[in-house]
């Protein structure tokens, strides 16, 4: 008994030592590194390949390389079994993944191809990118699990904010900073700088993560982590249902914003800065202020409030779609930027909720499953919304989106009522 009490005291002391600065410095860097690297595959590389004459059919196949981010629940249990209960092992995997990315980009810098379309045949390119995305997915499994295991509940709002803002920031840097560097100095310099930046960030994480290097929980008679075990847990299955309802409402509208702006008469240049600058800044700002609202409201009421605000924003888009007012362009720009901020705010709360739904002994598996469902939902919502909007128009899709968000708000409110007496569980 004394040994168990000592373990509990050590775990409590470790939790107290995890400050907001530690959460931001460690997890902000790791999530930014994920966003930075993923943006190269999603935005930058297709642009370079097309500029070098690679056919569009081959470029389109690069998006299939994001499949490890959807499939990662299948190897997450093995990582949970190896890391169970020890933050030091989670960090070891994270450092290994970061170092692997540095080495991969250093190797890419040494290639210095004169003609990218000839130097990289599709099979070689696919293999290289697949390795990168598997490493990113593995780093993400360990990073999310570490956040669940080692970050105390009163810091989870900060963790959620850091995840959203860090990913946004990484995407911005990857898509807007790396490409000009490549244009000005060439492939080798750009890849070398990327490897150097990742190496520095990895070193910073190594230095600042010391307070996380303690047992995150005591392992006692837990079943072996498994994907089937996750699906047998009613709390997680219910959480998946809520996640689908909440995110489907937001993603249906979000997936149509670009085409809607074009069809409403906005120029491509205007759409570019609204989507590329306005929405990203709004998203980062939303993510940063999210923990303030969570601390004051609790997660369930926070999600309820911002689902209703999100629904009101989408109703505004619906009004523009059916009314065509004289101020439509200005209204659309304001509503699109506001929608991005509300989407980011809501995801901070969802991140905290998702952390609470995960079992301590298989945090990586459970959270990976939730993220995979969300990723698949994003793909399905994008495809479905475009098809439906092409048949019945934007207005009805926006109306459906608002209806689902209101339904999600009602569910969130109902879920928060029993927890009102124990706010420490949801803050």
Give 289's contacts (C-beta < 8 A, 6+ positions apart).
345
Give 419's contacts (C-beta < 8 A, 6+ positions apart).
298, 300, 425, 426
CA distances from 178 to 44, 158, 190, 195 (A): 8, 28, 7, 12
Q: What is the dihedral of CA 171, 173, 175, 178, to 10 degrees?
A: -140
Q: How far apart are the C-alpha atoms of 72 and 230, rounded to whole Å?
A: 14
Please check whether the two domains, 2-212 and 227-425, share a CATH topology: yes
Q: How far apart are the C-alpha atoms of 321 and 241, rounded to whole Å?
A: 30
CA distances from 379 to 167, 251, 344, 386 (A): 18, 9, 18, 11
Contacts of 216-219 with CB under 8 Å at 24 or more apart are 216/11, 216/14, 216/85, 216/86, 216/87, 216/146, 216/149, 216/150, 216/360, 217/11, 217/85, 217/149, 217/360, 217/361, 218/4, 218/7, 218/8, 218/11, 218/85, 219/84, 219/85, 219/361
The conformation of residue 326, written as its DSSP 8-state character, comes to T
DSSP 3-state assignment of 86? Answer: strand
pLDDT per position as a tens digit, 77-127 = 999 888 876 888 888 999 999 999 999 888 888 876 554 445 455 556 667
DSSP 3-state assignment of 213? Answer: coil
Residue positions counted in the chain:
427
CA distances from 124 to 41, 97, 119, 319 (A): 14, 21, 9, 49
pLDDT interval class at 410 (50, 70, 90): very high
Mean predicted confidence (pLDDT) in 11-33: 74
pLDDT of residue 20: 73
The conformation of residue 66, written as its DSSP 8-state character, comes to G
Query: Tokens 């590329």 appear where?
Result: 276
Domain ranges of the chain: 2-212, 227-425
pLDDT of residue 367: 92
**Mean pLDDT for the chain overall:** 80
pLDDT interval class at 219 (50, 70, 90): low
At the topology level of CATH, where does 227-425 sit? Answer: Growth Hormone; Chain: A; (1.20.1250)
Please tell me the CATH superfamily of domain 2-212, with its number.
Answer: MFS general substrate transporter like domains (1.20.1250.20)
pLDDT per position as a tens digit, 132-184 = 889 999 999 999 988 888 888 778 888 888 888 888 888 777 767 787 888 78
Within a 10 A sphere around the Cβ of 270, how many other Cβ atoms? Answer: 16
pLDDT per position as a tens digit, 261-302 = 888 888 777 776 777 677 778 778 878 888 888 888 888 899
Mean predicted confidence (pLDDT) in 332-349: 87
What's the predicted TM-score (pTM) here? 0.82
Confirm if 204 and 25 have CB atoms less than 8 A apart.
Answer: yes
pLDDT of residue 56: 60
Mean predicted confidence (pLDDT) in 196-208: 89
pLDDT of residue 102: 92
């Amino acid at each position: 008994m004394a040994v168990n009490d000592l373990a509990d005291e050590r775990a409590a002391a470790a939790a107290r030592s995890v400050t907001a600065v530690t959460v931001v410095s460690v997890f902000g860097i790791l999530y930014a590194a994920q966003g930075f690297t993923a943006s190269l595959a999603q935005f930058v590389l297709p642009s370079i390949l097309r500029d070098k004459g690679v056919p569009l059919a081959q470029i389109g196949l690069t998006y299939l390389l994001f499949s490890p981010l959807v499939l990662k629940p299948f190897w997450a249990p093995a990582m949970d079994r190896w890391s169970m209960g020890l933050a030091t092992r989670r960090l070891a995997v994270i450092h290994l993944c970061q170092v692997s990315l540095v080495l991969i980009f250093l190797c890419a810098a040494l290639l210095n191809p004169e003609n990218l379309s000839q130097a990289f045949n599709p099979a070689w390119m696919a293999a290289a990118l697949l390795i990168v995305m598997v490493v990113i997915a593995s780093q993400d499994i360990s990073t999310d699990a570490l956040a669940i295991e080692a970050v105390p509940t009163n810091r989870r709002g900060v963790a959620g904010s850091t995840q959203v803002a860090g990913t946004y920031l990484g995407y911005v840097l990857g898509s807007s900073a790396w490409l000009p560097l490549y244009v000005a100095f060439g492939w080798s310099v750009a890849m070398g700088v990327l490897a150097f930046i990742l190496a520095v960030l990895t070193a910073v994480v190594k230095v600042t993560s010391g307070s996380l290097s303690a047992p995150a929980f005591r392992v006692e008679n837990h079943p072996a982590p498994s994907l089937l075990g996750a699906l047998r847990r009613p709390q997680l299955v219910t959480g998946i249902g809520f996640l689908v309802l909440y995110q489907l409402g937001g993603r249906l509208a979000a997936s149509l914003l670009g085409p809607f702006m074009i069809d409403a008469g906005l120029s491509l240049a205007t759409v570019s800065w609204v989507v590329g600058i306005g929405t990203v800044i709004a998203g980062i700002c939303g993510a940063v202020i999210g923990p303030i609202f969570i601390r004051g409201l609790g997660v369930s009421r926070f999600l309820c409030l911002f689902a209703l605000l999100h629904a009101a924003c989408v109703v505004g888009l619906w009004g523009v779609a059916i009314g065509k007012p004289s101020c439509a362009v200005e209204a659309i720009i304001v509503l699109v930027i506001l929608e991005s901020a509300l989407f980011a705010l809501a995801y901070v709360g969802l991140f905290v909720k998702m952390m609470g739904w995960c079992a301590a002994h298989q945090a990586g598996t459970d959270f990976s499953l939730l993220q995979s469902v969300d990723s698949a939902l994003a793909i399905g919502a994008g495809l479905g919304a475009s098809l439906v909007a092409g048949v019945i128009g934007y207005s009805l899709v926006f109306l459906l989106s608002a209806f689902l968000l209101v339904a999600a708000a009602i569910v969130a409110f109902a879920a928060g009522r029993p927890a009102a007496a124990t706010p420490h569980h949801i803050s």
